[in-house]
A and B are shown apart, each in its own frame.
Chain A
């Protein structure tokens, strides 16, 4: 089945530690995205990538880093510089360009700082 997979579903991090969230897709999509959801704030864009080896900052990139070494994979690292990392993180992918920009989402990773 084609889809987008995030792992793990739940993640606990101690303060001061970096942690990496995995996102893999087999939809052959060029574009991939990371969003963060907080209560009452909707989905806010962290980073996005339109093509392998290229990515751009979204609205709230501070304290996060990404890589796009393969078309299928777009891991997100939450660094110790992120002041309030506890949130629900969503990865998405879409076809780039073409005007039809429906994005498909993974099931999310809930990160909790303990």
Chain B
């Protein structure tokens, strides 16, 4: 049972435009959500997170939106740059973060074209 889903395996956008990556979850106990960026043959690096008490968190070009009623979150990258090309993973933490266990989605490969 996939509790965190990224239904778009890939996304291609033009440099300077907005990239929107989506993530859905099924477990209503999740209360902390994270986005990671991953290059091939490397470990994921943390990008941005959001607690369930918020509906938006912004950090530079990256903004994460959370819609709890729809169990949906999205990552916006504006403006997109070629260096943003990577695999993006959505992750969720269960049990209020007391275990720290992260459940990951399948990932979305973003390609930003110059």
CB atoms of A97 and B97 under 8 A apart: yes
CB atoms of A101 and B9 under 8 A apart: no
The interface size of chain B toward A, counting residues with CB under 8 Å, comes to 27
CB atoms of A107 and B44 under 8 A apart: no
- Knowing A42-B106, A48-B101, A101-B102, say if A106 contacts B43 (CB, 8 Å): yes
Smallest beta-carbon distance B87→chain A, Å? 9
Q: Is B70 an interface residue when CB atoms closer than 8 A count as contact? A: no
Give A50 to B95 CA distance when docked, in angstroms: 14
Q: Is A61 an interface residue when CB atoms closer than 8 A count as contact? A: no
CB atoms of B43 and A90 under 8 A apart: yes
Give A6 to B43 CA distance when docked, in angstroms: 10
CB atoms of B105 and A108 under 8 A apart: no
Provide the B92-113 mask, 1 if CB < 8 A to any CB of A, else 0.
Answer: 0100111111111111000000
A-B contact pairs, 20 of them (CB 8 A): A40-B9, A42-B89, A42-B105, A42-B107, A43-B104, A48-B101, A50-B100, A90-B44, A94-B100, A96-B99, A97-B98, A97-B100, A99-B96, A99-B97, A100-B32, A100-B97, A101-B32, A105-B36, A106-B43, A108-B41
